[in-house]
Amino acid sequence: MIILGIDTSCDDTSAGVVEGGRHVLSNVVQSQVRVHHPHGGVVPELASREHLRNIMPVVQEALSRAKVRMADLDGIAVTVGPGLVGSLLVGLYYAKGLAYVHDIPMVAVNHLEGHILSIFLEDTPPFPFVALTVSGGHTSLYHVKGYGRYIQMGQTLDDAAGEAFDKVSKILGLGYPGGVPIENASHDGLKDRVKFPRAYLSGESLDFSFSGLKTAVSLYIKKWHDKQVEAGDITLPDIAASFQEAVIDVLVRKALKAGAKSGAKSIVIAGGVACNKRLRMRLQEAASEKGFALYYPRPEYCTDNGAMIAAAGYHRVSSGEKADLSVDVRSKFPIKDLKPM
């Protein structure tokens, strides 16, 4: 079964063609970083305009790289939420047009389910497992009992982890998006040089909070610029490394706690922040120590992509699901609202 997946939930226009829910025939992503970079973050109006410009060539490129024609497709999977409404609309209405004209079943996919199932594009973690999805818009823990069976165990109460990377990067003058420049700067810094707060939240909570950390870093940087901090020899890489470690400490601790609570034997990480090599390394060490198997997709499948949407859509198309062409986008789309498969 060959599925075309389309994702325009935020600032990447992406389309991928996947066979059998896991064999990637193509995965094309047109990034909008160049457009949003001068603004230090995603500008929703510019994002939808760029999606409009890019959607047709990106889908055509995905089909041509996969060497398939529209007639070869068994289904079209498209992200309907959560995300930016204007951006989602472009992908959904393009998918509707294709589905209608070529008479192909279309399924509406939840972006978070795409991230959770992205691991199946190259690996096969046994169910049940715990998934930590960490991106620019989300930081959540799920107990994944099977395809379409997800129980949310925790989520961020304020900023997402990726959002914290992006904001701290902006304050440090390292640009947008912030994950990669912070990770690169951290290589030359000392992670214990500045003591930033870790919000473990009370007791057994599996929720996250990164806004206090973001504020603490921002206040510290102001003092550092004004040369009010001790000794005067703290470097920008020291601040970046100390911030990154504070985020990672919390993510690692909560992922392991969720693993223990769920009784699952495996942990999966996904989403843009899961590209972070230090997070992967720390989580690998901690997981091995506690007897969990750790799975993470390659970076291309961690950041937003159409292949993961095709993978998620495959299970829905195979179970006979078909979206009505009146389906609409949802800026908020909690995983508990998913249709069971």
Strand partners, 130: 143, 267
Taking CB under 5 A as the rule, which mask of x and - marks residues 131-150 in contact with Zn ion?
----x---------------
Identified binder of ligand KG4 from the candidate list 50, 183, 238, 321, rule CB under 6 A: 183
Instruction: Tell whether residue 165 is a contact of ligand KG4 (CB under 6 A).
Output: yes
The site partner of 179 among Zn ion, ligand KG4, none (C-beta below 5 to 8 Å per kind) is ligand KG4
Taking CB under 5 A as the rule, which mask of x and - marks residues 254-283 in contact with Zn ion?
------------------------------
Q: How many residues bind Zn ion (CB under 5 A)?
A: 2
Query: Which two three-digit tokens encode residue 216?
Result: 């603490």
Instruction: Tell whether residue 304 is a contact of ligand KG4 (CB under 6 A).
Output: yes
User: Shortest Cβ distance from residue 14 to ligand KG4 (Å)?
Assistant: 10
Instruction: Tell whether residue 276 is a contact of ligand KG4 (CB under 6 A).
Output: yes
**Separation between Cα atoms, residue 316 and residue 203, nearest integer Å:** 38
Q: Which of residues 321-340 bind ligand KG4 (CB under 6 A)?
A: none
Q: Which of residues 77-136 bind ligand KG4 (CB under 6 A)?
A: 135-136
Give the sign of the dihedral formed by CA 96, CA 318, CA 69, CA 15. positive
Instruction: Tell whether residue 304 is a contact of Zn ion (CB under 5 A).
Output: yes
HSE-CB at 77 with a 13 A cutoff on CA atoms is: 34
- Report the candidate in 325, 309, 317 with the shortest Cα–Cα distance to residue 341: 317
Helical residues (DSSP H) of the chain, grouped into ranges: 33-36, 44-66, 85-102, 111-117, 161-171, 179-186, 211-225, 236-262, 277-290, 299-302, 306-318
Instruction: Tell whether residue 110 is a contact of Zn ion (CB under 5 A).
Output: no
**Separation between Cα atoms, residue 248 and residue 254, nearest integer Å:** 10
- Report the candidate in 133, 106, 105 with the shortest Cα–Cα distance to residue 117: 133
Residues in contact with ligand KG4 by the rule CB under 6 A:
10, 135-137, 162, 165-166, 177-180, 183, 271-273, 275-276, 303-304
Residues in contact with Zn ion by the rule CB under 5 A:
135, 304
